[in-house]
Amino acid sequence: MISSSAFVTVGESPKNLSDVAAGRAPSAEYAVLRAGHFSRVIAMADQGKPGIDVPFLSFALRAYFATWNLENIYLGEEFPGIQYLAVHAVLRRRKRIAMLVHNVASLRRSLPLATLRLGHLLDHFLCLSEQSRKELESRYRVPAERITVIGSRVDTDFFTPEASTEPALQICSAGAVNRDYRTLIEAASPLGVPLKIAADTAWAHSTGQTDHGELPPFVELRSWGNYQNLRKLYAQSAVVVVPLARPMLSGVTVALEAMAMGKPVILSHNQYVEEFIRDGENGLFVAPGDASALRAKIQYLLDRSDEAARIGARARAWVLERYTVESYVNRILSVW
């Protein structure tokens, strides 16, 4: 345990944690970090719905007083982390604070952390990719020694290959934020295979793209309900595609989940995600918005099931080597 320490975070609901414990959902860092690594864990989820029942600033104020005499603070997200730093700017107790910044390109992060200089109150930044590290150094003016790249994580025990499931000749995708499903649908249209998309929210609202009512008949877009059904969708699919709309760090969780299941993944390329796949070895990159190139890569994998299986096997090995929850947690704790 890190002495005199606190983990301040959004957290997860008791139901989510119960599902993780019962094997109905994948584990992530919160389930691990809350179990004995810090003197105190202060989570918004324990007090109500973050941002609605529990406004970020009021939570940050309560969290600051709850950690008044604690020196080592890990802020697990920018929100309420930024609000915690704002309180710290006023009260200035002696603390050593580290914070994970997921999306360094966002103005909602850069404005308070860089422009308003709240980032100067942090002893250490954690980020998810090498491109994020470069931007923290250049745009945020953070010295290199105050940055640790922790990558991402996936529960490789939950998302694991299912030998008993024969993949169908179908394509799947998942996620709602920053997805370019218009290009994916255009790419898949002439292929004559089903396309199934697991999206729990209205992706049209995050990308400004087509309404659900305009989807062609070969496309099924809906919520898959839970992680067990999502895992089954991956298992039943020959190819998993993660089409991204804008150059930002997104889609990595879905890509790693599918890779952990030994599936060949096609991911839209940008600088934020390029280290998560070795193109042509354990997955494929495609230029964003290029339906023809995406169609060719999907067809390549559908026509070469043996090569697709080899790419998937290498993907599973890659994830086990680099992106397990345990290694992710160790990279977080390495700050102390």
pLDDT tens for the chain, 336 residues long, are 899 999 999 999 999 999 999 999 999 999 999 998 999 999 999 987 766 667 999 999 999 999 999 999 999 999 999 999 999 999 999 999 999 999 999 999 999 999 999 999 999 999 999 999 999 999 999 999 999 999 999 999 999 999 888 888 999 999 999 999 999 999 999 999 999 999 975 444 444 444 555 799 999 999 999 999 999 999 999 999 999 999 999 999 999 999 999 999 999 999 999 999 999 999 999 999 999 999 999 999 999 999 999 999 999 999 999 999 999 999 999 998
pLDDT computed for residue 270 by the predictor: 97
Structure tokens at 99: 């914070």
List, in order, residues 6 or more apart from 170 with CB less than 8 Å away.
193, 194, 195, 196, 236, 237, 238
Q: Residue 194 CB: number of other CB atoms within 10 A?
A: 16
Distance CA 243, CA 250 (A): 10
**Do the Cβ atoms of 198 and 223 come closer than 8 Å?**
yes
pLDDT computed for residue 200 by the predictor: 73
Instruction: Please report where in the chains the tokens 């952990």 appear, as a residue.
Output: 260
pLDDT computed for residue 208 by the predictor: 43
**Do the Cβ atoms of 312 and 262 come closer than 8 Å?**
yes
Distance CA 33, CA 251 (A): 24
Closest CA to 39 of 8, 81, 12, 65: 8
Long-range contacts of 108-114 (CB under 8 A, 24+ apart): 108/78, 109/78, 109/82, 110/139, 110/140, 112/82, 112/85, 112/86, 113/78, 113/82, 113/85, 113/140, 114/139, 114/140, 114/141
298: DSSP letter? H
The residue type of 90 is V
pLDDT computed for residue 47 by the predictor: 87
pLDDT computed for residue 38 by the predictor: 97
Instruction: Please report where in the chains the tokens 């959004």 appear, as a residue.
Output: 10
CATH number of 168-322: 3.40.50.2000
pLDDT computed for residue 149 by the predictor: 98
Distance CA 80, CA 140 (A): 19
Helices (H), the chain: 14-21, 29-33, 56-66, 78-91, 107-110, 130-138, 181-188, 203-207, 227-236, 252-260, 291-303, 305-322, 325-333
pLDDT computed for residue 164 by the predictor: 81
pLDDT computed for residue 336 by the predictor: 87
pLDDT computed for residue 203 by the predictor: 43
What pTM did the predictor assign?
Answer: 0.94
Distance CA 114, CA 119 (A): 6
Closest CA to 41 of 64, 65, 72, 9: 9
Closest CA to 154 of 27, 240, 267: 27
Distance CA 315, CA 274 (A): 14
Alpha carbon 35 to chain centroid, angstroms? 22
Angle at 187 between CA 186 and CA 188, to 5 degrees: 95
Closest CA to 276 of 234, 242, 229, 308: 242
pLDDT computed for residue 211 by the predictor: 53
Query: CATH 3.40.50.2000 region(s) of the chain?
Result: 2-154+324-333, 168-322
Largest CA distance in the chain: 63
pLDDT computed for residue 331 by the predictor: 97
pLDDT computed for residue 275 by the predictor: 97
Structure tokens at 197: 């998309």
Right CATH number for 2-154+324-333 from 3.40.190.10, 3.30.750.24, 3.40.50.2000, 3.40.47.40? 3.40.50.2000
